Amino acid sequence: MKILENISLAKYTTFKIGGNARFFCVVTSEDELVEAVKFAKEKNTDGHALPFLVLGGGSNMLVSDKGFNGLVIKMEMKNTVINDEDSIMSSSAGELWDSLVECSVNNGLYGLENLSAIPGTVGAAPVQNIGAYGAEVSQTLLDVRSLDTKSMTFVNFSNKDCKFGYRDSIFKHERDSKTGQPRYIITAVAFQLTRKGVLKMDYKDVKEYFEKNHVTGPTLSDLRKAIVEIRESKLPDWKVWGTAGSFFKNPSVPAAQFAELKNKFPDLPGFPENDGSVKVSLGYVLDKVCDAKGLMMGNVGTYDKQALVLIAKSGATAAEVYSLVDELKRRVKEKTGIVIEAEVDMIG
């Protein structure tokens, strides 16, 4: 495994923004991952271990213009195994997420199809519990294998151990108390799928797609095709724009606050949650309440078909994105009183 120096991170993220990584390496096995983490631990400057950043597809992060003053570990371990008898699919962290979904659908295994065409890697999927069109990784995930960077041993997490929430899991929060670094690095994930699944078609966009295309009794592959086409029609082309998909989380507000908002904005979509709060569609708020759909500020803006998605032209800087983010936060706070939070990881 080679450790490179001063590598531009712009080409490793889908935002296509970001300065250099001080050190950079590609790992293709668990042994190489251990070697990389040891390098960071040993290369300490003034008593502090070098920080490390685990990179999958770079599709959910915004790297600062300064870059990352540490070791970037690019996960490239690839291997997928299907256990036919019990419908379990296991995959290494560096596999492309959508290759796994495609493989599951081609093999008649139900469970991941609504998560089709999400960019990124398998190892990143549990970290933020990726979700779309009525499905979340947490619904089918069986277990996760990871490197505990504190003890330098490999440990397994059951689904319950992962403490999944909306775009959330234990992997976002558990940190080494000494270094402040994320403690666990995911190396493989297993999914419990099924051959006798029921298609999830309740999501508004999915229902509308099948009605419009006069598809009755869709199959597993039809649903994957539908999701791919819906995403293509709503989300920017990654080859043209820099983007990390939805930039903010959909916020949750107390039921009383939602009722007040609904009075002012009767069409505001909201989804009641188990704890009594209501999840608000921020895309709607940015679009219809804040008039921010298609807003451009310099080289960055909100996508003209989905206001929750930020886009960047070639040559855009992270500083420009921060300004846009501040402006959107300000407008939402002013119009609704809601404080919004980024979904994308801000690095450096």
- Which residues are marked as active site? 167, 246, 343
For the CB of residue 288, give the shortest distance to ligand EPU in the complex, in Å.
6
Q: Which is nearer to ligand EPU, 169 or 306 (CB)?
A: 306
- Is 209 a residue that touches ligand EPU (CB under 6 A)? no
What does DSSP say about strands 61-63 and 345-347: parallel, antiparallel, or unpaired?
A: parallel
> Quick one: CA torsion of 119, 202, 162, 102, rounded to 10 degrees?
-40
- The DSSP line for 28-42 is -SHHHHHHHHHHHHH
Which position among 43, 172, 288, 329 is part of the footprint of ligand EPU (CB under 6 A)? 288
Q: List b or e across 100-139, with b for residues whose CB sees 16 or more CB atoms inside 10 angstroms.
A: bbbbbbeeebbbbbbbbbbbbbbbbbbbbbbbbbebbbbb
Q: Of 102 and 287, which CB lies nearer to ligand EPU in the complex structure?
A: 287
**If binding means CB under 6 A, how many residues of this protein chain bind ligand EPU?**
19
Kindly state whether residue 281 participates in binding ligand EPU, applying the rule CB under 6 A: yes
Q: Is 283 in the site for ligand EPU (CB under 6 A)?
A: yes
Residues 6+ apart with CB under 8 A from 152: 34, 37, 38
**Tokens for 288?**
């219809």
Nearest residue to 134 (alpha-carbon basis) of 161, 117, 112:
112
Q: Kindly indicate which of the ranges 47-55, 188-196, 254-262, 281-289 contains the residues binding ligand EPU, using the contact rule CB under 6 A.
A: 281-289
Q: Which is nearer to ligand EPU, 33 or 112 (CB)?
A: 112
Site of tokens 């990584």? 21
Binders in 293-312 for ligand EPU, by CB under 6 A: 293, 306-308
Contact flag: residue 14 with ligand EPU (CB under 6 A): no
Counting contacts by CB under 6 A, is residue 139 touching ligand EPU? no
Q: What is the DSSP letter of 113?
A: G
**Interface ranges with ligand EPU (CB under 6 A):** 132-133, 205, 234, 245-246, 249-250, 269, 281, 283-284, 287-288, 293, 306-308, 343
